Structure 1
Amino acid sequence: MQQSHWPTAVTALFGTRLPIVAGGLMWLSNADYVAAAARSGMIGFITAASFPECGALRAEIRRCRDLCEGAPFGVNVSMLPKLVPGERTREVFETIIEEGVRFVETSGRNPEEFMPLLKSAGIKVLHKVPALRHAVKAASIGVDAVAIVGAECGGHPGLDMVGTIVNAAWADSRLEIPYLIGGGIGHGSQIVAALAMGAAGVVMGTRFLVADEVWAHADYKRRLVQAQPTDTDLCMQSVGNTVRSLRNETTGAVRALETTQPGLTIQDLMPLVSGRIGREAYLSGDWSKGLLSAGHALAFVDRLEPLAAIVARLEQQMHEALRRLAPLSAAT
C-alpha cells in the first residue's frame, strides 16, 4: 500500500506523516522503540523515568537521535501529582534542553512551573491528561497540544472515567488547541472516527506493546495476544491513583486489600505495585505479578510483529474507513 500523508494540526506540530503518537511506555519506551515509531511516520517518546540518572537518559537520547536519522522524536516526563523532596524533574528538563530535543510529552501534575523553561528553549509541549477539565487547564497555561485518555486506557485513566468516544466529541467544543484522543484505540477506523469528531490525532500504547522493537519478553507479549479487553482490572481507586492493568495475581491481591482494609494508603500497597516488579515481569515473561498497564485496545492485539507492520495495517484500516464514508460524502 502506498503511504499517504494525513495533514492535521498534530502532524504539522510534530512534522510527522501520520496523526498517531506512540505514547511513553514506562520501562519500554527506549531508543529502539521510539526510533521505530519515527521510521513508521509517527512520533514516539522516550520515558525519562525509565532511566535512573540523567547521564543514562542523555545517552539514550543520543542513541535515539542516531537511530531516527533526522525524524522527530521526543521525551516523556511523568511527574508525580505533588512535588516531593528529591524529585529531579527540573534536572531532567535541563538535560532534554541541553540535548536539543524539540518535543516533550508531560503527564502527572500540571507542567506550568516548567513552561517558561521549555518555551525559552523552543520546545513543543504535549500534555497528557485523564479528563477534559485538566486539558482545559493545560491549554490555559500554554501547552501546544493535549492528549486526553479515556476510561478504556491502560495505565492511569484518572478518576472521572469518561469514555473515549465522549471525550473525542466533547473536547471539540471546549478546546482551541490541537488535541489527541487515547484509550482503547487500536484500529484505523477509530483513528478516522477521532478525526471526524474534531481530534487532530490519537495516542496509542497498548496496541504497540507486542511490537518486535519493544524489548519485553515474548511470553509476556504472547499473553497480550491471548487476552481480551475483559482481561484488565481497575485498581488503586481507593488511594486516588486508578490504574488499568492486565488481570493477574497482583491485581487480585490489590483489589482484595482495597475491599477489606479501609484507610489504605499508597505506601501500604507499594510492596505489591512497585514499578520494579513490573519491570521484572517484562524481563522474565512472568506476567502473573506486577501492575502491567494494558487497556481495552487488547481487542486488536493479535500477533507479534514489527512496529512498521502494525502501523501499515492501521493505515490500511484508515483508508478502508474513508472508503466506507465516501458514499455519505457524495450524498451530501
Structure 2
Amino acid sequence: MLRTRVTEFFGTRLPIVASGLQWLANADYAAAASRAGLMGFLTAASFPELSDLRDEIRRCRDLCEGGPFGVNVSMLPKLVEGDRTEAVFDLIAGEGVRFVETSGRNPESYLPRLRAAGIKVVHKVPTVKHARKAQAVGVDMVEVIGAEAGGHPGMELVGTIVQATLAAREITVPLVVGGGIGTGEQLVAALALGADGVLMGTRFLVAEELCAHPGYKTRLVEARETDTTLVMQSLRNTLRALRNETTERIQEVEKEKPGDLSALMPLISGKLGRQAYETGDMRLGALSLGQSVVFADRVEPFAAIVARIEAEAEQALERLRRLGG
C-alpha cells in the first residue's frame, strides 16, 4: 500500500519501525513485527551476557522465517568503565545481522567495522541538529524523535510535527520520525510531511507477544495521553515515563538534590523497571512510555494491531482523495 525508501531499505511491506525497548524487545517482539510486515529490533541491553544475546539473535532469525530484523545498541552518552559496545558490534557482525539501530552517542568510530561486515546503520536522535551530524558522518538512515516519545526524547523537547517537517527539509538519507505516533492517520501525516516512515514503540506494548505481565498491559490499556511524565532532567538525560510512585519520588529527589546521580540511582535503576514488567506492580520503576499510549486500547496479537494501523491509514488516504476532488 505504501512504498517508500524505508520499505525498500528494509525489504518490508510497511514503512513502520518497531524500535528497541529495554527489557521487552526480545526475539518474540522483533519477529512478530517482522512477520507483520514491519521492521523490528531486539535490544542488546536487555541481555547482560553476550552469550544470551547471541542465542536471542539466533532465535529471532528462526522466528522471522526469512523476514528482516535488527539489533538495537543503545550506547552510553560517553565511554565508561565496562562499556561493551565494541564486543556487542563484533558479536552482531559475527552473527550476520544486517541492520543495527544505534543511539546515545555518535556512532562514527564504529561505522568502518560495521560497513565491513555489510551492516546498515540506523541512528536515532532527539533533534534535527543531531540528525544532520549523523548524516554527515555517514549513517544509512536517521530516526528523529519528538518530545512525545517514550524513553529519552532529549533536552530540547521539540514536538514531533515540528521535528518531522524540519528534518524532511534537510535530511537526504532515508528519514524515520517518531514520538507520539501510534495510528495509521499519523503514519500518513508523517509521509505527507516528507518522512519516509515512522517509529513506533509504545503502541506495541500491549501486543500479546510482548513478554510483560498482564497487569502491566491492562494498566496501559487504561492509560491516557496525560499519564506520562518527565524525569531525570537534572541529569540532562530526560526520560518520559509512566506517572507512578517512583517517578513522583524521582521528581522530589531532583528538587532536593538536582543532578545527584547517587541519590537517584536506586530509583532509576533498570532493575526496578524489570521487576514491574515481571510482576505487574506498576508502582515500581521509571517505565518508559510515550503519549501514544492512549492509542493502545486493547491487548491483541501484534498482527491485529498492525492490521488496525493499516485500516486507519487507508481511511486517512481516502479522506485526502476526497479533498482532491
Aligned to 1:170: 166
> Is the Cα contact below 8 Å between 2:27 and 2:57 reproduced in 1?
yes
Q: CA deviation at 1:284?
A: 0.2
Query: 1:1-332 alignment to 2 at 5 Å?
Result: 4=1, 6-262=2-258, 264-330=259-325
Q: Deviations over 1:36-70 (max 9, x none)?
A: 00000001111000001111111000000011110
Q: CA deviation at 1:268?
A: 2.2
- SS of the equivalent of 1:230 reads coil
The answer for unaligned runs of 5 or more in structure 1 is none
Aligned residues: 325
Q: Which runs of 4+ in 1 moved over 4 A?
A: none
Q: CA deviation at 1:328?
A: 2.9
Identity value in percent: 61
> What is the CA RMSD across the aligned residues, in angstroms?
0.8
Give the letter for the 2:90 counterpart: E
Give the letter for the 1:253 counterpart: R
d(CA) in 1 for partners of 2:264, 2:314: 45
Give the letter for the 2:194 counterpart: G
d(CA) in 2 for partners of 1:266, 1:12: 43
> Is the Cα contact below 8 Å between 2:125 and 2:131 reproduced in 1?
yes
d(CA) in 1 for partners of 2:54, 2:254: 39
d(CA) in 2 for partners of 1:109, 1:25: 18
- SS of the equivalent of 1:126 reads strand
Give the letter for the 1:135 counterpart: A
- SS of the equivalent of 1:114 reads helix
d(CA) in 2 for partners of 1:182, 1:173: 16
Q: CA deviation at 1:85?
A: 1.5
The TM-score normalised by the length of structure 1 is 0.97
Q: CA deviation at 1:129?
A: 0.7
d(CA) in 2 for partners of 1:236, 1:86: 23
Q: Deviations over 1:149-176 (max 9, x none)?
A: 1000010010010000011111111111
d(CA) in 1 for partners of 2:45, 2:290: 21
Give the letter for the 1:25 counterpart: L
d(CA) in 2 for partners of 1:327, 1:44: 34
d(CA) in 1 for partners of 2:154, 2:281: 27
- SS of the equivalent of 2:226 reads helix
The TM-score normalised by the length of structure 2 is 0.99
Give the letter for the 2:17 counterpart: V
- SS of the equivalent of 1:229 reads coil
d(CA) in 2 for partners of 1:232, 1:319: 29
- SS of the equivalent of 2:297 reads coil
